[in-house]
Chain A
Amino acid sequence: MEPRPRSFYVLGAFFVLFLLFLYGPTITIGILSFQGESGGLTFPMRGTSVHWFRNLFEQQAVGDIWGSFRRSFALGMMVMVTTVVVSVMGGLAFRKRFAGSGLLFYLIITSLVIPSILISLGVGLMFSQAGLTVHWATSGFGAQLTWTLPFGLLIMFAVFNRFDPSYEEAAHDLGASPWQTLRHVVLPIIAPSLIGVALFGFTLSYDEFARTLLTAGSYNTLPLEIYGMTTNVTTPVLYALGTLTTLFSLLMIGVFLCVTWFATRRRAAMGSDAGSGLV
């Protein structure tokens, strides 16, 4: 291998600094969440303790954190499943020509670039004028889909742009019905990418703030609860909560990445049975 040019080391150093910039603050609040009982929001550490984590389990100290976590988790799961199903169907639709596909595509782009507060305001107004009560599982759910579906569909575009249609033609030639082709050929091939769509669906919903602000109703989701805390909580309990939910996000990312990795490997192992079908 040729020796690395000097630019490699300069850019490498830049990259390391960038990672430090990305992760440094998060790591800092991770450390500060172990702040001693008399410590404040900044260094120095006055001893170490798990006092602030214990605080999270006391209702009077932080409000309804666990209830909001349960709601966020449930909402994330709902958004995730819906995003995967609707995006795959949308992706399949866009492989064919249909009247209005251009319009639908522009709607998707609009959904992606529209300032979140407009969705919040519009859905909130719509519900109140229709005499409906906003609730995280109805208006909140729909408002979040306008953010996750574009990501899901764009990933499906990327997937189907790389999809080799000769697999489907082969299945068709062997007499498979369209549904069988989809079920036994297309879906298994795109499965690892679907896990990616699911990851986007869940995490974007779990962290979404602006689009749920006016659409969640009287029961807060976790980001709304955290936002409320920033205005009236001035102790490291905020950091403890931040550390826990970041760890939870990382755990979910890890789970999704592991599943993708296994799915890809399994597909690689099963993809070609050439030579093994001699019996």
Chain B
Amino acid sequence: MGGFRDMTGRIRAGTVAWLQAAPMALVLLVFLVAPILMIGIVSFWQATEFSIVPAFEFDNYEFLFGSSVTYRVFLNTFKYALIVWVFTFLIGFTVAYFLAFHVRTLTWQIGLFLLCTIPFWTSNIIRMISWIPFLGRNGIANSALISWGVIDEPLDWLLFSDFAVILAFVHLYTLFMVVPIFNTMMRIDKSLIEAARDGGASGVQILWNVIIPLCKPGIMIGSIFVITLVMGDFITVRFMSGSQSANVGRLISNDIALLQYPSAAATAVVLLGTVLIVIAILLRFVDIRKEL
């Protein structure tokens, strides 16, 4: 009898959990799963000059994989992701390390941490625009370099170049590294570090053998954010390169602008597949739910 009550109790708890999860599941079904399926379906459709027509053919994919542009653009996307990842990781780790191990009171730690995160809650587009006065031909960087006598002519490659794209990415997304790494660092038991020091480890050895291994989950979560944001971006590359560089996101948005939805959908499917594979690889190293 007790067993029976337990079972009905469990079933009731399960029903309650279902009802509580239902709104979230519903939103994701309608606005995540259905759109992905829609993109998958449309990627096999045909585009005429004025509209798109249901069909089942591989033309879009054949065209995509048959074009050398595709490979160049994908390669460029990986290049951005890799370079931005290196910079955001180095900067993010250093900043988090300073906050977690060199700032001594919790109040200061929280205060400085908030200072690092506030830009995350402001507009990305405005933050991109705000590089114009710095990097422009008559911008602050060029004027300063000329007045110091480093260069005679203004540099042309500061704005509207790959340099500007990467700078903007690092500017926008370093926070995504700082936050999870700081979070894991704050949970490291300080006595572990003291034990290592008592055992005769040098600062570098402690960093390499104690802190970095314990920070791995934070590093992984930060990496997932940065890599997916950079790989899926289209606006930063377009704006900061002055439409001179391309990544996969821009390929898709160009097709959309030309109303070539089936072709955009096919590219989107390949992009999603690529991103998910990268994430799956990274997730093998970390259990996100345990790390929050």
Contact = CB atoms under 8 A, between A and B. Distances in A.
Interface stretch (B23-31, B56-64, B145-153): B23-31
A61 interface: no
A143 B123 contact: no
Secondary structure call for the A interface? helix
B21 A245 contact: no
A227 to B, nearest CB: 6
A266 B35 CA distance: 44
B121 A209 contact: no
B118 interface: yes
Interface residues of B, number: 81
A149 B28 contact: yes
Contacts of B234: 117, 210
A242 interface: yes
B91 A18 contact: yes
A188 interface: no
B121 A253 contact: yes
Given A158-B292, A207-B123, A119 B31 contact: yes
B31 A145 contact: yes
Contacts of B24: 86-87, 89-90, 93, 104, 108, 149, 153
A146 to B, nearest CB: 5
Interface stretch (B68-76, B92-100, B193-201): B92-100
A7 B122 CA distance: 32
B220 interface: no
Contacts of B122: 26, 203, 207, 245-246, 249-250
B123 A43 contact: no
A209 B232 CA distance: 13
Interface string A240-252: 0010011001101
A249 B228 contact: no
Interface in B22-63: 23-25, 27-28, 30-36, 38-39, 42
Secondary structure call for the B interface? helix
B32 A110 contact: yes
A114 B33 CA distance: 11
Interface of A: 1, 4, 7-8, 11-12, 14-15, 18-19, 21-26, 28-29, 32, 41-43, 85-87, 89-90, 92-94, 96-101, 104-105, 107-119, 121-123, 125-126, 129, 142-143, 145-146, 149, 153-154, 157-158, 161, 178, 199, 203-204, 206-207, 209-210, 214, 223, 226-227, 230, 238-239, 242, 245-246, 249-250, 252-253, 257
Given A86-B23, A99-B18, A246-B126, 19 more contacts: A7-B203, A18-B174, A25-B130, A26-B122, A26-B126, A26-B130, A41-B132, A41-B136, A94-B21, A96-B14, A98-B21, A114-B275, A115-B272, A116-B232, A118-B272, A142-B31, A143-B31, A223-B123, A250-B122
